[in-house]
A and B are shown apart, each in its own frame.
Chain A
Amino acid sequence: MGAKNLARANYISSELLGRKRETVEIVTEEPIENIMKEVETDTTIDRHEVMDMCEELLNEPLHALDHDYALKGLKFAFDSNMPPQMVALDASQAWMVYWIANSMQVFNETTIDEENKRKMVEKLFLMSEDKGPFSGGEGQLPHIASTYAAVNALALCDNFDNCWDQLDRKAIYKWLLSLKQTDGGFTTCNPVGERDIRGVYCALSVASLLNIMTDELIEGVLEYLQKCQTFEGGFGATLLQDEAHGGYTFCAVASLCILNKLHTINVEKLMEWCSARQYNEEMGLCGRGNKLVDGCYSFWVGSTAAMIEATTGVECINKQALRKYILNCCQSTTGISLRDKPGKNGDFYHTNYVLMGLAITESTFKYKMEPNKKSPFDLVSIPSTTEDKPSDLSSINPIYGLPSDVVRKFHKHFV
């Protein structure tokens, strides 16, 4: 970049992207349980802001989940057009359908009515004219994340109008193979796509649900996944030892569970990493070391903990505390119902993952079968008896991010 461009870039950076804070070093003593010294930096300034907002809400008695309010918002979304600013999701339209429909289904299996199912199927097949792989919207290129979201959304349609039978599974299989990389990973799209662990998870999720898994498809995948575990214990995005992150860790662990290979990585370290995501003060989960709590990690990390629990019998997070964070801090009384944290607006992404996170906190997880035959479809979620006033949500299969009975029925259809 020349001097002129650099100056311009600097201008954009400071003027358009917000200010930069200088580091001020002040040693403060916080009146929390342990008096631990801390230095004031961006990290601690941001965290204290969040802690302050959570504190008041966490001091209140446990809130109840407002079913009516949340469901009203979800139904409204299905019956309305999206405002122009939602153009940001123009290339991820299947996600929108999945987030909303899944949230409805997690509330109650009868909330998606026949008319909604008809509209969902119609909309989803707009993204896949040939009923093969799905794209982000009409006339777009097939994309692995869109295919994942669309297949999950179709699973929620309960074979309405034989939509399950209409899927061209051969075409999906062939296309998944075309995304496979020599290192064992998958790209999201051809010719230009992202090559990270999300691709692996989306491919394995779709292939296992549709019963199109082959040795050829999963060749090298296990080694790829194993190499993505980092020194922190969680998983990074790629083979280059990226920072351990809640979203990528979920993708890795769910993929390993699909392959029944979770025991081949360092599970002990993974447990430590998951557990370290929970803060004493906010009670919720963050996605990386020294980052802020965010309701969506109630699923990404919570679900990882649930898979570990099913595999080892050890609960590595505090579900009751997480439940308190979700119920007291993640419910919004205006707009869309569930949110990242106090001070943020709700959205459908957070509604889906916060809600599934809540379902996880009210359940225990195990496998039905003997240990050496763990199939992702035999991971069962049992309502825990310790919670007072449970939120009455569907039980979740943490591997697929869908209600357990939906996963069972959908998979069985293709066996």
Chain B
Amino acid sequence: MGFQYNIKDYDDVAVLPLVHDGEEDSELCRIMYSEEYKQVMSLVRALLTENELSIRALNLTSKAIELSPAFYSVWNYRYRILEHLLQEETLLQNGHDASYLLNKELDWLDEFTLNNPKNYQIWSYRQALLTNLHHHATFIREQPIMELMIDDDSKNYHVWSYRKWCCSHFRTYGHELAFTEKYIDRDVYNNSAWSHRLSVLKQCDVDFDQELGYIKGKIEYVPQNISTWTYLRALFESHSTPAKLVDELLIFTSQFLDESSYALEFFAYLNSLPEVNKPQTAIDAYTTLATKADPIRKNLWDHKIQLLQHS
């Protein structure tokens, strides 16, 4: 049997429809399923009840998932099928090779993923597969799909999150600086890329001064950008002796006070630090934020001013 869904393969199966599927039913918010959907799901329920862990069951789950991508019970069923098919005995019986099956599965997942960018289940399924069933998985094999997905939707949360998982799982961090740079070059406001970069920085063994230069350059390029200023602050806070940096950053930040509310915020923050201890300068900056530069956040700026007045 091939790896294609074909309705004829299930001729012998006694379908198992939903109990509450009748037209006379007064069920709340009942979904009017298409005939095809009813047929496929009734077959799934039938095979699931028999716990059939076969190639044709696998093909059926492909069809069911295609019709209802968020149907997590079918994803779980698919996982158990694959787990069974990969057992030595079953492999021998079916004349399959484990890596052949696994590659086939990853190819299928890749294609499915490209069509369902917002789906949750794909990634947890993929993680379970790579953690428990695939013993020769590599970071390299995961790269193209992650890159394609982020190329298409550069802030796709699931994919960035999956990428972090891959870095951690395969202990591979060597690609991350270049990878994030690619998306930062494309869109300097991409907070997902900045956030990813910061999360892997420690593992990337980056030279602090070099990274400081990098972020300063991006701020000079576009001063009004929350992502870069937050990144700069995190970098500053991660430094072992921030006191030494303060003067340098005060001078740097002062250049942008007229053109960036985030610069003003960072400037106020620096002046509030015990190392600088210029509460009045900070209060003035917060006042400018509250009245002119970022008035919608007045509540926060007033709170900051109060903290400074009481300390």
Query: Which A residues fall within an 8 A CB radius of B?
Result: 1, 5-6, 8-10, 12-13, 16-18, 20, 23, 33-39, 41-44, 77-78, 81-84, 86-93, 96-97, 100, 116, 119-120, 122-123, 126, 135-136, 138-141, 143, 188-196, 230-232, 236-238, 240-245, 271-272, 275-276, 278-280, 283, 288-291, 314-318, 321
* B117, A189: Cβ atoms closer than 8 Å: no
Q: Is the CB of A20 within 8 A of B152?
A: yes
Contacts of B165 in A (CB 8 A): 238, 240
Q: Nearest Cβ distance between residue B176 and chain A, in whole angstroms?
A: 12
Q: What's the A-B contact tally at a CB cutoff of 8 Å?
A: 255
* A42 x B198 contact (CB < 8 A): no
Contact B107 A1 (CB under 8 A): yes
Bound CA span A23–B190, Å: 12
A289: which B residues are within 8 A, CB to CB?
191, 194-195, 226-227, 230
A231-B228 Cα distance, complex, nearest whole Å? 12
* A237:B111 contact, CB within 8 angstroms: no
Closest chain B CB from A210 CB (angstroms): 23
B191 adjacent to A291 (CB under 8 Å) = yes
Residues from 197 to 242 in B contacting A, C-beta threshold 8 Å:
198-199, 221-227, 230, 233-234, 237
Give Cα A381–Cα B227 distance, bound, in whole angstroms: 34
A38 to B20, CA, bound (A): 57
26 contacts between A and B (CB under 8 A): A9-B114, A9-B144, A10-B148, A37-B259, A39-B188, A42-B187, A81-B30, A88-B68, A91-B70, A100-B29, A119-B27, A123-B27, A135-B73, A140-B71, A143-B72, A191-B128, A192-B79, A192-B125, A192-B128, A194-B121, A236-B195, A238-B161, A271-B303, A288-B155, A290-B189, A291-B155
State A283–B296 Cα separation when bound (angstroms): 8
Q: Tell yes or no: B76 within 8 A of A by CB.
A: yes
Binary per-residue interface labels of chain B (89-128) against chain A in the complex, 1 for a CB within 8 Å, 0 otherwise: 0000000000000000001001100110100110111001
Indicate which residue in B20, B27, B76, B237 contacts A189 across the interface (CB closer than 8 Å). B76
Chain B residues packing against A (C-beta within 8 Å): 18-20, 26-34, 37, 45, 67-73, 75-76, 79-80, 107, 110-111, 114-115, 117, 120-121, 123-125, 128, 141, 144-145, 148, 151-155, 157, 160-161, 164-165, 168, 185-192, 194-196, 198-199, 221-227, 230, 233-234, 237, 259-261, 292-300, 303
